[in-house]
Structure 1
Amino acid sequence: MAETTVVEKGMTIFLDVFRRADRKDDGKISWEEFVAFFADGIMGKEELRTLFDDIDTHKTNFIDPKELCDYFANHLGPFKEILSLIEDLNVKVSNMLVSTAQSYPGSSRSNQFTARFLMGLVFNQVCAIQHPLDAATDALEAQAKEEGVNIIAVQPEDVREKNEELIVPGRIVRRAKRQTSKQTTYEGNQNLSGTQVALEDQVDRLAKLLNRMEKKVNFDGLVDEEVDITDDKIVLLYQQDLTVKDGQMDSFKTQLRKYIEVTNSAPGALTMSVRSFKDTPKFSIYEVWTSDDLRARHLQAQGPKEFTDCVAGMTEKRTESVVHIPSTWWRRD
């Protein structure tokens, strides 16, 4: 973006919103980009067009960063103070995560326990804030759908430019655990302190660090074990290696997100991790389960089965392997 857009505290998150909506990265949001990002499955085409024109005060048929920020600045109401607090929270949480990640490995076990306890405490408090927001958002969406039952919701393909690549609707991305984006910054001449992300990004970051602290396979200080073969408890590490076909990457990632969400909450699933390899279409999916039966049952459920069926058509190569790990190696303390 060529110009610097100066905004007051609580508004910098909308520069991040602009950056994500500006898919062509040309410093302006076209009508097609606007629909792709803001269409929520509720608003009709004419309704969104009216909103687009209201924001486009310069009447250029494009929206620039200042126009977007000015529009929302006039409609924030009680959200203004909350967004300002989230900016502060983001900076403080980022500092805390960096500090903890640096100090934790060299700390005593008692200090590590204290760090895990405090991290979990913060995580639970942030989640407690998130849950009523989720419920309120769902209620507002349900009410809007009832009131607009006769309105045909606009879809990105309704206004897509010719030869344009498939657009994943913004609402789909937002509904995936209501995430906004990975951390991004507004690259103008202005030096913004930190990145402005939604509250849920911080929930995820806290969860990931807490998960790394509490749950990992213990390969440190292994000792010889003599066990009763009739009572030998194990966990299973499954690895899938996939190569995605050309043109299928976006669809594959959408299906993978759904699979991760349903698997993380499945009975018997201890943890899950995905590795993607830079500049290649290759992925490795790792899952740790308490039993093969539970995983097999999980894969027959509608969501996982849909992922498996879709992957068969989206990938060129797919291999799977499993390693049995003593359950005593699965460290939680």
Structure 2
Amino acid sequence: MNELYECIIIGGGFAGLQASIQLGRYQRKVLVIDSNYGRSTLCKSYRNILGWPTGISGQQLRQLGRKHAENYGISFLEDKVISVQNVNNHYKMETIAGKPYSAKTILLATGLIDRFPQINNLVDCLGSTIFVCPDCDGYEVLNKSVIILGSGDVGAELAITLTYWSNQITYINHEGNELTPDLHERLMKNGIQYRKENIKEVLKDGVSTFNGICLQSGEKIYGERAFIAFGGNEVQNSLAIQLGVKMLNNKHVIVDTRTKETNITNVWAAGDLVTHSQQVTIAMGEGTQAAVWIHKRLLEMNVSHP
């Protein structure tokens, strides 16, 4: 018979890690199952987090978080949960490795995956000099020349948003999806250079410093920083769907604003899976908040600490 945990956290990003630390401090028996792939594994420098003014990479912050949680006895497993169901008021799940796991409560912290095409050197610069989120990293392009690598209206909207930080913006519509006339006009009014052509490769200096792009035609366009905006990001909600968790039209999970519990009893959600501002610090806060209420529920179940 497989081991029964008080809580299994599915996803080891910042929401999952922060929740595991809090539950560890409650001395709860917790397993974190993480595939070790997601936004936080790709970003090379978060610069808007309290205490890290010069930035910290996603991988480094994850490693610190895991070590912190392990100090409280939290267990970790690198695997991916592919199925979950409620059996006799316990949640049974199975991973890619084929192993079964059981828990009294679940925290879904599976996040989302950004969609971007396979362009040479793009990943090397991602999270260092190529960015995703203007709220996180708009400041990084202040008064710099910026190239938007994007698709259709999504890229156009981001280009317009970034005029708050820079007036040197070029939008490359890589996939060639047509713009709505209104957005095309707004690009022109904001002085944004617009090209509709596929990108052959990202130009870089050294390991991860963006320097521009080379189009399929061979033409090179230089810039100091870049953003990607291809749309179609994939919310990792398959397990939530299996459990019958309610979601918004944008496929993000709905939770109680106070407790972070979903409509399914003893199933919580936090981080980018939930509808929020997709900020590291917010994900951490949601993880802590969920953990507090998971602990309260375990107390109601008369499950005391060891």
* TM-score normalised by length of structure 2: 0.21
Bigger fraction of residues in strand? 2
* TM-score normalised by length of structure 1: 0.20
Bigger fraction of residues in helix? 1
